[in-house]
């Protein structure tokens, strides 16, 4: 059985069929007039609000906008803090490390007690390295709070099974930005669509929000999908299959259904020495792919 190193979204048959049924003509008509971000967000908050596994509620201090996936939110955060050193945990999404290495900008792995003035930080929650919680998450967040380190939390893996209460985010004064992507939920990474919230609206994303200059076509696609699939759909559909695969190959089931976890038998899947993370998404959907 072949495993994948990158995190690959599930190729779900029902979602694929729903995409084929997307009302293109209706979308073309709607795109001729301004579309309300507030109306779109109502759909999103209702969708995630019905989840049995995730609690997500934000105070009025947060300013939302659409983004071209979490990547655009990352670029914005990099730019706002362009004179600072980036701090991430081992096992984090390697895009950050690769970008900063390519640009010759300073970055470092998180070391408890090592955060300094002039740093900024990014943490995925659920954590990219294991699909669950990072074992140093509380320590990391508390140190960011105590030292007033600007923080972005990446919610890209939200909705893949991890049970998480995010209401505590409203109490984190250091937290400047949140971002969420629909890529892993609906296998639409190439549609480039996500959401960003900030308590400090400025820079490119704020100007785009003021101009309402967003990827509204992809937003309408996700609205269509949210109306047809619950936030917990993937977990409810594939959790049992994930457990079977992990048991067969002596893997620890991740809180996120895409992964099986390992400590020593698959070193080629190491995430910076943090853990070995194996993506099992092709095996999860192999029956539907062979229809």
Give a three-class secondary structure readout of the chain. Answer: CCCECCCCCCCCHHHHHHHHCCCHHHHHHHCCCCCCHHHHHHHHHHHHHCCCCEECCCCCCCEEEEECHHHHHHHHHHHHCCCCEEEECCCCCHHHHHHHHHHCCCEEECCCCCCCCCEEEEEECCCCCCCCCCCCHHHHHHHHHHHCCCEEEECCCCCCCCCEECHHHHHCCCEEEEEEECHHHHCCHHHCCEEEEECCCCCHHHHHHHHCCCCHHHHHHHHHHHHHCCCCHHHHHHHHHHHHHHHHCCCEECCCCCEEEECCCCHHHECCCCCEEEECHHHHCHHHHCC
> What average pLDDT does the structure give for the chain?
95
Does 80 reside within a domain? yes
Per residue in 26-36, pLDDT (tens digit) is 999 999 888 89
Structural domain count, the chain: 1
Once rounded to an integer, what is the mean pLDDT over residues 40-49? 97
Asked if pLDDT for residue 269 goes beyond 70, the answer is yes
Does 116 reside within a domain? yes
Per residue in 207-257, pLDDT (tens digit) is 999 999 999 999 999 999 999 999 999 999 999 999 999 999 999 999 999
Confidence of residue 288 (pLDDT cuts 50, 70, 90): very low
Does 55 reside within a domain? yes
Instruction: Work out the percent of the chain whose per-residue pLDDT is above 70.
Output: 98
Does 159 reside within a domain? yes
Domain of 104 in residue numbering reads as 36-228
């Amino acid at each position: 059985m072949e495993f994948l190193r990158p995190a690959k979204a599930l190729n779900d048959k029902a979602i694929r069929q729903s995409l084929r049924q997307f009302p293109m003509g209706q979308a073309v008509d709607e795109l001729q007039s301004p579309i309300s971000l507030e109306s779109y967000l109502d759909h999103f908050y209702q969708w995630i609000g019905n989840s049995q596994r995730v609690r997500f509620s934000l105070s009025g201090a947060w300013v939302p906008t659409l983004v071209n996936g979490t990547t655009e939110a990352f670029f914005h955060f990099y730019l706002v803090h362009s004179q600072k050193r980036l701090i991430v945990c081992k096992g984090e999404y390697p895009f950050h490390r690769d970008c900063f290495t390519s640009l010759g900008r300073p970055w470092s792995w998180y070391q408890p007690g090592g955060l300094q003035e002039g740093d900024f930080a990014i943490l995925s929650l659920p954590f990219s390295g294991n699909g669950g919680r990072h074992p140093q998450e509380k320590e990391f967040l508390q140190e960011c709070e105590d030292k007033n380190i600007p923080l972005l939390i990446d919610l890209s893996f939200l909705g893949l099974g991890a049970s998480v209460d995010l209401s505590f985010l409203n109490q984190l004064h250091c937290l400047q930005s949140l971002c969420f992507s629909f890529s892993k939920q609906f296998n639409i990474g190439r549609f480039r669509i996500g959401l960003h919230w900030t308590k400090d609206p400025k820079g490119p994303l704020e100007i785009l929000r003021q101009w309402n200059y967003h990827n509204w076509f992809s937003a309408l696609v996700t609205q269509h999908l949210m109306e047809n699939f619950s936030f917990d759909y993937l977990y409810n559909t594939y959790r049992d299959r994930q457990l079977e695969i992990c048991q067969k190959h002596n893997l620890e089931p991740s809180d996120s259904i895409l992964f099986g976890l390992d400590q020593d038998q698959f070193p080629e899947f190491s995430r910076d020495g943090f853990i070995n993370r194996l993506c099992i998404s092709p095996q999860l959907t192999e029956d539907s792919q062979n229809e």
